[in-house]
Amino acid sequence: MNYEINKISLDILDFTIASKNIINLTLDVIYENRMKSKTKFKITNYLGKGAIGQVYLIEKISDARNIIFFPENLYVLKISNDNCIDELLNEMTNISNKFKNSNIINASYPIAYGSFLNIKAVGVIYNFLGYYNLEKAKKIQSMIEINHSKSIIRQIILQMKQLGNNIHCDLKPANIVIDVDSNTNDIKATIIDYGLMKCYNDRNIISTNYITSPESLLTLTSQPISDIDMTKHDYFGLFVIVINLFVKNNYWDIISNYLTKIHNISSRFILKDEARVLFVYIWFKFNNTGKAHDIKNSKLRKLIYDIESRYSLLALKKFSNFDSFFNHHIVPNLDSYFDDMDQCYMLKSFLRSLIYFCPEDRPSLDILLEFPFLL
């Protein structure tokens, strides 16, 4: 079947949050002869409000003219706030340009609301991938066994491999959707939210603060981009995802507790824009005995010297190395998964390898898949 979406207009009849709300989608689809199709959806659930706009779970009520353009019943609608049209358009362009020939992104359909000259909102309809994201997964944690968790990690790594020359830049628990098949008990994990995705050699790589990699800070400076190895930037997001899978409290709570209680660093500082500097500094301390001259990579070494001269208070604080952080702040949070301390030890070595300060010390994705913890 060879069809292409020419223009889709979204005609919203009523768009407030209530169970009976119905949206009307009128699609112009070029399919052999020019034909129009009208599909009706209702909003069944509100999934989240991100920086860009609202995300809803929608259910197909009917297809007209028997064009089965939306073969499933459930979809997700992301619709921009008025002032964030550009960001959502960016996400849509990212997805359509970079994944044309790949199966990594499930089907997505761009939509626009308003007239051609006066677009009021843009949106995307995605295939529905599951009811939970890993941030909300605590609710079903009793269903997720250790083998599920390992399978989730393997699936994420395999999808990271498919990104090719791109880095996701917002890999975190909220951006992993999971679906449990109640018959087979299999679990499916899918990376979503490609709004921040960049190429390896792009400037200004920005992520959520607590998943910022050291090297990404170099892309904000005037360093020549060709000198910066960005291929393993997403490992910091993977680290946070893995921790969240195994601990009762999420990583953000653990780390903010650690900073406030142990180091007296206020949450105001953690939430400020400079927080990414603080996180990079912590990755450095987790991996080094505490001296900047231990760092092999000269660009990263300079970064730490700069951080220590700008934030002299940080340099005076005695942060834990990774072993001590893991044993004192992660292990007590590990739930009954780990009766077997060998597993816990293997998890530690897997996690440790993700956050080496110099990218060249972190293993490739293929080697990660071979780690004893995942076998």
Ligand X SMILES: Nc1ncnc2c1ncn2[C@@H]1O[C@H](COP(=O)(O)OP(=O)(O)OP(=O)(O)O)[C@@H](O)[C@H]1O
Residue 112 interacts, among Mg ion, ligand X, none and using kind-specific CB cut-offs from 5 to 8 Å, with: none
- Shortest distance (Å) from residue 55 CB to Mg ion: 8
- Shortest distance (Å) from residue 303 CB to ligand X: 27
From the list 10, 202, 4, the residue with the least C-alpha distance to 94 is 202
From the list 153, 111, 183, the residue with the least C-alpha distance to 375 is 153
Please say which residue, 133 or 287, places its beta carbon nearer to Mg ion. 133
- Shortest distance (Å) from residue 59 CB to ligand X: 13
Please say which residue, 114 or 130, places its beta carbon nearer to ligand X. 130
What separation in angstroms does the CA of 108 have from each of 128, 275, 329, 374?
Answer: 10, 34, 40, 31
Please say which residue, 157 or 177, places its beta carbon nearer to ligand X. 177
- Shortest distance (Å) from residue 83 CB to ligand X: 13
Residue 76 interacts, among ligand X, Mg ion, none and using kind-specific CB cut-offs from 5 to 8 Å, with: ligand X
Indicate the residue whose CB is closest to ligand X.
50
Residue 126 interacts, among Mg ion, ligand X, none and using kind-specific CB cut-offs from 5 to 8 Å, with: ligand X
- Shortest distance (Å) from residue 25 CB to Mg ion: 23
Radius of gyration of the chain (CA): 23
List, in order, residues 6 or more apart from 36 with CB less than 8 Å away.
26, 27, 28, 29, 65
- Shortest distance (Å) from residue 171 CB to Mg ion: 10
* CA dihedral (94, 96, 101, 107) positive or negative: positive
Please say which residue, 189 or 259, places its beta carbon nearer to ligand X. 189
Positions touching ligand X (CB under 6 A) are 47-48, 50-52, 55, 76, 78, 126-130, 133, 174-175, 177, 192-193, 195
Rounded to 5 degrees, what angle do the CA atoms 325, 326, 330 make?
105
Structure tokens at 101: 């020939």
Positions touching Mg ion (CB under 5 A) are 174-175, 193
- Shortest distance (Å) from residue 184 CB to ligand X: 20
Residue 130 interacts, among ligand X, Mg ion, none and using kind-specific CB cut-offs from 5 to 8 Å, with: ligand X
Neighbours of 79 (CB within 10 A): 22
Please say which residue, 148 or 301, places its beta carbon nearer to ligand X. 148
From the list 215, 145, 223, the residue with the least C-alpha distance to 187 is 145
Please say which residue, 78 or 198, places its beta carbon nearer to ligand X. 78
Residue 197 interacts, among Mg ion, ligand X, none and using kind-specific CB cut-offs from 5 to 8 Å, with: none
Structure tokens at 367: 């080697």
Please say which residue, 169 or 217, places its beta carbon nearer to Mg ion. 169
From the list 283, 285, 349, the residue with the least C-alpha distance to 317 is 285
Indicate the residue whose CB is closest to Mg ion.
193
DSSP state of 64: S
In the chain, what are the helix, strand and coil shares in percent, each to the nearest 5?
A: 40, 25, 35
